[in-house]
């Protein structure tokens, strides 16, 4: 008999942000017009890059050397540029050798956990962004290990919960933060980051900060980068261009290693990550060539500031529509481009409904919600999809015991935005009062 093919860890791989698309696609085939509120892709939501950025890319496309491989860690000029940017922010100092490029942060994330010992665990926030939680759990052949973000306290991390989990679990070797956070839109306050650094010092842990949204803040917030606050703790910052440029299809992200010289074991871990990239040869080259030309252009800051301001404006529109529903816990957002909205305890049950006019759509949705043990928020999400054509992601799919859903703040057309969120609100009210 052949041995089993799948590892235990493979059961931990799931990505509801895309799974829900399969359901929405069924409904689309039946003629339902879908508003895609599930995926954080600004381009899919009609964001247009300024012409000067497209010109930079099209000039590069005409260069012969853009088509070759590049160094395994990435283009030296680009790593020099990024190291200088980090060093200009104050705090820890790095060299171009402390940077390694990946094919998007998704690639960086799966490598980061893959090369940890399987008994070594990284604790991350819940609600959890599944690319991290699934990859970490798959490496450990166990469920994800999480600390709570608290919807009753602006989604800030429950630091006592984090401290106790670290104290009583010697397998924990690292703490993950996602700052600004996906899926909550929370920006970590400086004092809380300082407490996390203090915990890392006390228990000799390393830190991972996913900073893919670090330059996407609004409504007066500022996100403090890991490099600014890490002091002498070993850590990795993960950055990329998918959200900030935004150019998600480029598949380009990088890691910055901090304080390698302070911890031999951590240094070997970083070396293993570099080696893992080396055996693949290298990551996507064209976006690396574009980075210094785009981020180094004085027009970039003005463009990013305006884009952030637009996200902030949309966050207010969404707040105006949804924060009045008494059965919801609604938090204002300050970074990234998501909001996670929670149903207060006891408000959802297995008998609630929304009216679905089309009989075929109704039958399909009723089939989905009749699954045994379906999470209550998933049930709501399926009804919202069938009745209103709005595709959101249930929060129970983000390793959370809370019931709610994630939306994006990306719809650029204000009329469509208002229409979509008014439908969500009407759907909620109908469902809760049914």
- Cβ atoms of residues 242 and 104 within 8 Å: yes
Q: What is the DSSP string of 7-42?
A: -GGGGG---HHHHHHHHHHHHHHTT---EE-S---T
DSSP one-letter code for 180: S
- Please report whether residue 246 would count as binding ligand PLP according to CB under 6 A: no
**Nearest residue (CB) to ligand PLP, 311 versus 369:** 311
- Please report whether residue 177 would count as binding ligand PLP according to CB under 6 A: no
Beta bridge pairs of residue 352: none
- Please report whether residue 176 would count as binding ligand PLP according to CB under 6 A: no
- Cβ atoms of residues 183 and 338 within 8 Å: yes
- Longest Cα–Cα distance of the chain, Å, equals 65
Binding mask 197-226 for ligand PLP (x = CB under 6 A): -------------x-x--------------
CB of 245 to ligand PLP, least distance (A): 11
Q: What share of the chain is helix, strand, coil (3-state, %, to 5)?
A: 45, 15, 40
Nearest to 209 by CA among 137, 112, 294: 112
State the Cα–Cα distance between residues 37 and 416, nearest whole angstrom: 12
Stretch that binds ligand PLP, among 165-173, 224-232, 240-248, 346-354 (CB under 6 A): 240-248
State the Cα–Cα distance between residues 29 and 179, nearest whole angstrom: 38
Stretch that binds ligand PLP, among 75-83, 103-111, 146-154, 318-326 (CB under 6 A): 103-111
Binding mask 104-143 for ligand PLP (x = CB under 6 A): xxx----------------------x-x------------
Among 9, 40, 234, 335, binds ligand PLP (CB under 6 A): 40
**Nearest residue (CB) to ligand PLP, 39 versus 317:** 39
- Please report whether residue 144 would count as binding ligand PLP according to CB under 6 A: no
**Nearest residue (CB) to ligand PLP, 27 versus 236:** 236
Nearest to 250 by CA among 107, 36, 63, 81: 107
Beta bridge pairs of residue 359: none
Stretch that binds ligand PLP, among 101-109, 114-122, 276-284, 306-314 (CB under 6 A): 101-109
CB of 134 to ligand PLP, least distance (A): 12
Query: Under rule CB under 6 A, which residues in 247-286 are in contact with ligand PLP?
Result: 248, 253
Stretch that binds ligand PLP, among 18-26, 80-88, 98-106, 133-141 (CB under 6 A): 98-106
State the Cα–Cα distance between residues 411 and 43, nearest whole angstrom: 10
**Nearest residue (CB) to ligand PLP, 35 versus 131:** 131
State the Cα–Cα distance between residues 390 and 383, nearest whole angstrom: 9
Nearest to 331 by CA among 182, 214, 224, 184: 184
- Please report whether residue 178 would count as binding ligand PLP according to CB under 6 A: yes
State the Cα–Cα distance between residues 227 and 83, nearest whole angstrom: 11
**Nearest residue (CB) to ligand PLP, 123 versus 361:** 123
Nearest to 127 by CA among 157, 166, 169, 168: 157
State the Cα–Cα distance between residues 211 and 218, nearest whole angstrom: 15
Number of H helices, E strands in the chain: 14, 14
**Nearest residue (CB) to ligand PLP, 128 versus 205:** 128
Number of shown-chain residues binding ligand PLP (CB under 6 A): 14
**Nearest residue (CB) to ligand PLP, 112 versus 387:** 112
Stretch that binds ligand PLP, among 67-75, 102-110, 261-269, 357-365 (CB under 6 A): 102-110
**Residue with token string 């050397």:** 65
- Please report whether residue 101 would count as binding ligand PLP according to CB under 6 A: no
**Nearest residue (CB) to ligand PLP, 40 versus 312:** 40
Residues that bind ligand PLP (CB under 6 A): 40, 104-106, 129, 131, 178, 182, 210, 212, 240, 242, 248, 253
């Amino acid at each position: 008999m052949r041995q089993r093919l799948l590892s235990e860890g493979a059961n931990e791989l799931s990505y509801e942000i895309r799974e829900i698309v399969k359901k929405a696609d069924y409904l689309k085939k039946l003629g339902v017009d879908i508003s895609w509120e599930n995926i954080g892709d600004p381009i899919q939501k009609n964001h247009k890059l300024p012409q000067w950025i497209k010109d930079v890319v099209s000039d590069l496309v005409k260069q012969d050397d853009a088509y070759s491989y590049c160094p395994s860690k990435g283009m030296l000029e680009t790593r020099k540029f990024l190291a200088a940017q980090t060093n200009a922010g104050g705090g820890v100092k790095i060299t171009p050798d402390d940077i390694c490029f990946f094919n998007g942060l998704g690639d960086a994330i799966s490598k980061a956990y893959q090369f940890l010992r399987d008994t070594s665990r990284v604790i991350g926030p819940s609600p959890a962004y599944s690319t991290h939680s699934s990859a970490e759990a798959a490496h450990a052949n166990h469920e994800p290990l999480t600390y709570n973000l608290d919807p009753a306290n602006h989604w800030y991390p429950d630091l006592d919960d984090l401290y106790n989990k670290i104290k009583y679990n010697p397998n924990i070797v690292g703490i993950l933060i996602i700052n600004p956070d996906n899926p909550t839109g929370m920006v970590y306050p400086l004092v809380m980051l300082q407490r996390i650094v203090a915990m890392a010092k006390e228990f000799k842990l390393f830190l991972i900060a996913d900073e893919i949204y670090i330059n996407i803040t609004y409504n007066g917030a500022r996100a403090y980068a890991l490099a600014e606050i890490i002091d002498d703790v070993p850590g990795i910052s993960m950055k990329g261009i998918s959200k900030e440029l935004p150019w998600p299809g480029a598949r380009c992200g990088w890691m910055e290693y901090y304080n390698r010289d302070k911890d031999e074991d951590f240094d070997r871990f970083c070396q293993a990550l570099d080696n893992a990239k080396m055996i693949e040869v290298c990551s996507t080259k064209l976006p690396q060539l574009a980075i210094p030309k785009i981020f180094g252009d004085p027009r970039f800051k003005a463009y990013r500031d305006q884009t952030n301001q637009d996200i902030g404006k949309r966050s207010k529109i969404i707040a105006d529509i949804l924060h009045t529903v008494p059965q919801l816990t609604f938090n204002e957002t300050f970074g990234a481009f998501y909001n996670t909205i929670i149903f207060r305890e006891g408000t959802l049950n297995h008998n609630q409904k929304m009216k679905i006019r089309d009989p075929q759509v109704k039958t399909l949705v009723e089939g989905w919600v009749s699954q045994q043990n379906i999470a209550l928020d998933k049930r709501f999400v399926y009804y919202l999809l069938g009745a209103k054509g709005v595709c959101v992601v249930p929060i129970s799919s983000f390793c959370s015991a809370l019931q709610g859903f994630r939306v994006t703040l990306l719809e650029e057309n204000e009329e469509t935005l208002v229409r979509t969120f008014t439908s969500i609100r009407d759907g909620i009210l109908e469902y809760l009062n049914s």
